[in-house]
């Protein structure tokens, strides 16, 4: 594996990093913003909680598979035009969600929204790799994720207030505005992949290239580590609104508070990773993060199965589990993209697809948990 730490371009300013952070936040804000509204959405559309949960599963499907297309497209045509097309799709999908008259329509528009949102997330990572390599790339990804965690921190809190003031449809109207604003900002930063470094292979040939990437053991190792984390993360996202609100009778505002706690942990871990990765390397910190994740997952399973500690018996180990995001995601992505730097867009897309594909499994699995099943009908 390459260990070069030098930058391949002059360092981007904090303005560029801020725009990239906003792009990376689209995956979380598109879901986190309306989490407190899920029960009321079901009542408004005449759908049960299981159907409303499919708005998350459908989103994850679109988000996972969509990245596989945006990666090769950006490697050939550049990052900025590709992200722009994705943002336009995001705006259209968000508008459709705001006007949806049924749960199936909402699910369909959520898929469109996801296909657009994933372009920004996958290609923002590739743009970092265009500018940095090795542990420096991992450090910059951690810095971006530290900034972008403001989105999931404020998402449920802001979403709860929007729902209280204007109803759940206003949440998606707000996302339309965010998408348009980001599109304008995108065209104020330079293209990070010049024409001389772009791939000229046909789109079909680029898709076949994924087969070679899937046979690369190090890429699969990095991607799978993040995949296990994302499975648990989206089980948390899909299941805890019903566990906390319906099973433990936490208010919608209270749910936002508990969500904020775990996001603070993830933010702190990202901040710590950005400070340590240059000294210790992303592989070593990734191993530590994986051990922490596994221990927290085991503890959560035990407290959920035994009921030990009640609500806080779940909140505390879940806090540790979600915090491990800061030690795993940036390092796993940076490690994978170092394997094939000339195909950063495709590698970033494949890793993202595996991460969010695992999230689909975790989201669906959460519906089978006894606490969630009881919460669905509470």
Each domain of the chain, given as residue ranges in start order, spans: 12-191, 201-377
Q: Which of 261, 240, 233 is nearest to 357 (CA)?
A: 233
For residues 121-136, average pLDDT: 77
Please check the confidence at residue 93 and state whether its pLDDT lies above 90. yes
User: What's the confidence (pLDDT) of residue 369?
Assistant: 59
Q: Are 75 and 198 in contact (CB under 8 A)?
A: yes
Tell me what the mean pLDDT of segment 145-172 comes to.
77
Over residues 66-95, mean pLDDT: 89
Return the minimum-mean-pLDDT range out of 75-79, 127-131, 288-292, 321-325.
127-131
Q: Where are the beta strands (DSSP E) in 176-251?
A: none
Whether the domain at 12-191 and the domain at 201-377 fall into the same CATH topology: yes
173: pLDDT strictly greater than 90 = yes
- The pTM score is 0.74
Confidence of residue 116 (pLDDT cuts 50, 70, 90): very high
**How many other C-beta atoms can be found within 10 angstroms of the C-beta atom of residue 148?**
25
pLDDT, one tens digit per residue, over 325-364 is 888 888 888 888 777 766 777 787 888 888 878 888 887 7
Residue with tokens 């999230």: 359
Radius of gyration over every alpha carbon of the chain, rounded to an integer in angstroms: 20
Positive or negative, the CA dihedral 270, 274, 278, 280 is negative
Rounded to a whole number, what is the distance in angstroms from the first to the last CA of the chain? 52
Distance of alpha carbon 347 from alpha carbon 171, whole angstroms: 33
Rounded mean pLDDT, 8-24: 69
Encoding tokens for residue 53?
Answer: 């949960």
Q: Are 254 and 241 in contact (CB under 8 A)?
A: no
- What superfamily does domain 201-377 belong to in CATH? MFS general substrate transporter like domains (1.20.1250.20)
Q: Residue 215 and residue 75: Cα distance in Å, rounded? A: 20
pLDDT digits (tens, 9 = 90+) for 199-238: 777 667 667 777 777 788 888 888 888 888 888 888 887 7
- Rounded to whole angstroms, the Cα distance separating 137 from 140 reads 5
Tens digits of per-residue pLDDT, 258-298?
877 888 888 888 888 888 887 888 889 999 999 999 999 99
Candidates 3.90.1150.10, 2.40.50.140, 1.10.8.60, 1.20.1250.20; CATH matching 12-191: 1.20.1250.20
């Amino acid at each position: 594996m390459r260990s070069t730490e030098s930058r391949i371009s002059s360092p981007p300013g904090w303005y560029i990093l801020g725009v990239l952070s906003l792009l990376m936040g689209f995956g979380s804000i598109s879901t986190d913003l309306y989490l407190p509204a899920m029960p009321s959405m079901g009542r408004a559309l005449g759908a049960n909680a299981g159907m409303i949960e499919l708005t998350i599963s459908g989103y994850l499907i679109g988000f996972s598979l969509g990245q596989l297309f945006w990666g090769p497209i950006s490697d050939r045509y550049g990052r900025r035009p590709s992200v722009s097309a994705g943002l336009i799709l995001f705006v259209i999908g968000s508008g459709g969600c705001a006007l949806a008259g049924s749960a199936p329509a909402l699910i369909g528009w959520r898929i469109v929204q996801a296909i657009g949102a994933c372009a920004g997330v996958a290609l923002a990572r590739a743009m970092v790799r265009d500018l940095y390599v090795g542990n420096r790339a991992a450090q910059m990804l951690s810095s971006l994720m530290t900034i972008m965690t403001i989105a999931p921190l404020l998402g449920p809190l802001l979403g709860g207030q929007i729902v209280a003031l204007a109803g759940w449809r206003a949440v998606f109207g707000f996302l339309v505005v965010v998408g348009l604003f980001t599109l304008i900002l995108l065209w104020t930063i330079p293209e990070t992949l010049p024409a001389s470094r772009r791939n000229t292979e046909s789109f079909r040939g680029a898709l076949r290239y994924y087969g070679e990437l899937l046979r690369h053991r190090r890429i699969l190792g990095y991607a799978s580590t993040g995949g296990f984390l994302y499975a648990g993360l989206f089980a948390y996202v899909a299941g805890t609104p019903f566990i906390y609100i319906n099973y433990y009778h936490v208010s919608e505002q209270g749910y936002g508070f508990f969500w904020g706690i775990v996001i603070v942990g993830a933010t702190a871990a990202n901040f710590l990773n950005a400070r340590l990765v240059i000294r210790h390397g992303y592989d070593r910190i990734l191993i530590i993060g994986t051990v922490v994740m596994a221990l927290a997952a085991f503890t959560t399973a035990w407290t959920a199965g035994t009921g030990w500690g009640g609500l806080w018996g779940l909140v505390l180990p879940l806090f540790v589990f979600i915090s491990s995001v800061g030690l795993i995601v940036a390092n796993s992505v940076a490690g994978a993209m170092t394997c094939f730097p000339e195909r950063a867009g495709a590698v970033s897309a494949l890793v993202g697809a595996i991460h969010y594909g695992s999230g689909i499994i975790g989201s669906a699995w959460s519906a089978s948990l006894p606490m969630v099943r009881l919460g669905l009908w509470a």
